[in-house]
Structure 1
């Protein structure tokens, strides 16, 4: 009986090493997921952080994320590093937040949705985005659009 108790004690200690220590975008063995994440068959991710009341995006979003949904939160800004490290990101939805500026986007982004925000300036936000196809910023309160704002966006079809 003593051996069985000792084994049970050791198992509890081992399990204790793997207890949840925090939160991360998609979760792992030591953290719970903040967002809903779907890994595609090609190894890329769709990450949905919508409607969670987030004031900051998790900084550990998988680097091979192609779709990022972050609408209906309380985001006021996104650090440039958060998105620039997502080199596979093609589609981002930032609608209905409290953003006043747009972050820098990865070079290969195709679709950006940022409607219903408080964005007043988009100067420089689209520089170098040669694959950009669509930008939606309805009711975003942009005050000035310079004639050079979309100079690199030769594939832009819809604004």
Structure 2
């Protein structure tokens, strides 16, 4: 994935967050603030993993720790709500978009990847790290953008 493509996916997500007007979610689903906090937390995990890959260190990417409501609620409190989350996401998205260009041949580095969506296991296998970042931009971010659109009253 090119940095410009990833930037567009983040910009679409940020536009939804900034548009506001979110209704409470259906039971069992995340509030808009929790969606934004999840992406912020996931960005930090992507950055830690990418730095390890660039340094040649073995690493695993397990997103399951970034999904739990108490952790998300702590990030929300730390950021002071949706406007602060948007600011933090803008900063983390710039950093994630920036590392794409640094990957080069390291994008082929296999990283054991475990991705959960709620309680469903989506991925549990080694993947080239560039592919994981591609999935983030092409699937993960648009999924959460759509999730936010659905929460708009």
TM-score by length of 1: 0.21
Greater RCO (CA < 8 Å, at least 6 residues apart): 2
Structure 1 or 2: larger helix share? 2
- Which protein shows a greater Rg? 1
Structure 1 or 2: larger strand share? 1
TM-score by length of 2: 0.22
